[in-house]
Amino acid sequence: MSLADEWPRLEPTSLQSERRPPFQRAGLFWKLLLAFGVLSVTAILLLTWLFSNAYEALLERELSERISAAATTTGELLSDRWPATQTEATQELVHQLGQEIGVRLTLIAPDGTVLADSQLKDLAAVQQAENHADRTEIIAALKNGSGSARRTSPTMGERMRYYAVRVDHDGAPVGVVRAALPTAPIAAELAGLERWIWTIGILLSTAAVGVAYWVAARLTDPLRALAAAADALASGKHDYRLPATSGGDDELSKLATALNDLGRRLAQREGQLRSTSQTQATVLEAMTESVIAVDRTEKVLFANASAARALGFDAARVEGHPLLEAVRSHELRAVVQQALRSRKPGSGEITWRGKTQRIFDVLATPLPGDPLPGVVVVLRDVSEVKRLEQMRQQFIANVSHELKTPLSSIKAYTETLLGGALKDPVHGQRFLERIDEQASRLHQLIMDMLSLARIESSQAPLELANLPLGRVAQRIVADYERQAASKQVTLENKIADFSVLVRADEEALRQILSNLIDNAVKYTPPGGRVTVASRVDGAVVLCDVSDTGPGISAEHHSRVFERFYRVDKARSRELGGTGLGLSIVKHLTQAMGGSVEVTSQVGQGSTFTVRLPAAGG
């Protein structure tokens, strides 16, 4: 049993539709029906026409043979006794012959005179007949021996078929015998026959159209179901199945089996591709590096979320757009073009000037394929690395400079003492004091550097506890009262409420307040004031260290917490500062979950505010 025999069972319920009327069928069905129908009808009509023409030709040939035989026989019969003139006996003989053979016979003299006619009643009628010398068949017969014509007879008043034969006697023409028959009976017979033939042809054509309809439906119904199956597979419905027919061995059955197998394979491949795609998408989206894929025309094929965030575009909207339109960086485009031209990985470094300036290390790798399908671009943000490298270089330069100054002074004083100044009580004592001062400064610088290094590397873990800020501040202020008094600076502690608790490490908090108060006392001129105060702002405790010193201009506010940064370098060194105190304050404060900031105007003093979490906040 073939697939076409069982096809109604092959249409799945999910895709079944009501049987549509024939006029709604479209596509291949109508093409086949039209082709089969036109071919069948054309063939039948052509055969009908050929048969009709052949039968008409047969009747015409039969008619021609009948009248030619009658004319020839009559001529042979009368050749030895051809009448010279019109006689009654000749008329009666011709009349009798015409009646016997059923053909009109006419005897005509060479000059066209009618000698006898089987259709005329008597000799008188013959004598009144008009001359036939101008008749076409008579002229042809006298000239060529025979002639024929078809026309309406003026004597009989109906259309006739004529055949004329020349009669010779002793080698000389003596006249012409003409035979004629009317064409009306033949036309009537042909008309009746054609009606039957065309009726049969129309019936056969109708039957042929019906057969063509059946054949087209039998062929297209399976093909329509196959097309539905192919559409379902193409639209992703890989669970669509055409039930396999038992014993089906025709081409459609094989095609149905192949489609079923294709559906199973596509379902497996789709599952594998979906899993792979999800894995790749997850990996790409989780990457911190920015990934952009472009085709060989530099249009974006893909961009991950990291690239969209870093370069400030919508990953979904830029797909299909030129790379330069999505990322307005000619440096990036140059790296991509280099990889496209050379078909080798290209690299470079670009500076992206967005909301913040960022530096990216770019690697462009050509995709495999010929022709080259495109390039994958990976951008790694090296801004922090560059910043740290710059800070490292600046740190080394600053450390070198800061160490060089006291070491140079110690070396100079030592060489002076060794040169003989040691024996000078006045200068020797002063030089030794200078060496001790520079050694202390060098020691303080090294200790601050070690402290800062430990803080940054978390080698000195902080032990956070609930501490009364007022008690810690009172102790630190007491430590610096003598230094402040020696400089004629008033040092005041306004933290009277010891119940305010902060979440901090005690040693770190002491170091923060010490550095801030030490700086304030050093930079405040005689007669000035240094004030320590606090206030509570929700879950945060703010500790302010204010002075009436020279102040700091606004352009230095964002940098005063950097290592070795000094607003007035000469004055800072003169006062013995290492340039690391505020940097230590910043790192300790941040390590405890807080922050530090400065508020200052030139000539109006400065206020350093430390924000720390309140206990239980």
| pLDDT tens digits along 479-537 | 888 988 998 999 999 887 888 899 988 888 888 888 899 888 988 999 999 999 999 88
For the record, the structure tokens of 251 come out as 């081409």
Residue 182 and residue 160 in contact, taking contact as beta carbons nearer than 8 Å: yes
Nearest in space to 401 (alpha carbons), one of 445, 461, 437: 445
CA distance 344 to 366: 6
Question: In the prediction, which pLDDT does 249 show?
Answer: 66
Question: In the prediction, which pLDDT does 370 show?
Answer: 84
CA distance 277 to 121: 111
Question: In the prediction, which pLDDT does 53 show?
Answer: 79
Residue 287 and residue 308 in contact, taking contact as beta carbons nearer than 8 Å: no
CATH superfamily of 287-380: PAS domain (3.30.450.20)
| Ramachandran class of 416: left when φ > 0, alpha when ψ lies in -120 to 50, beta otherwise | alpha
Nearest in space to 164 (alpha carbons), one of 104, 124, 122, 118: 104
Question: In the prediction, which pLDDT does 103 show?
Answer: 87
For the chain, which residues make up each domain, given as ranges? 287-380, 387-453, 463-613
Mean pLDDT per 10-residue interval, the chain, length 617 residues: 43 44 54 71 78 77 82 81 84 84 86 85 82 85 85 74 85 85 76 77 79 74 72 71 58 74 77 76 75 89 84 84 86 89 88 82 89 88 78 65 68 74 72 73 65 59 84 89 90 86 88 88 90 90 90 80 62 53 83 88 88 82
Question: In the prediction, which pLDDT does 24 show?
Answer: 45
What's the topology of domain 463-613?
Heat Shock Protein 90 (3.30.565)
For the record, the structure tokens of 62 come out as 């039969």
For the 387-453 domain, the top CATH level (class) is mainly alpha
**Which residues, 6+ apart, have CB-to-CB distance to 381 below 8 Å?**
288, 289, 290, 310, 358, 359, 360
Residue 583 and residue 566 in contact, taking contact as beta carbons nearer than 8 Å: no
Question: In the prediction, which pLDDT does 1 show?
Answer: 43
Residue 19 DSSP class: P
Tens digits of residue pLDDT in 547-583:
998 888 888 777 777 766 666 544 444 444 556 778 8
H-only helix segments in 85-149? 88-101, 123-128, 136-144
Question: In the prediction, which pLDDT does 4 show?
Answer: 45
CA distance 54 to 49: 8
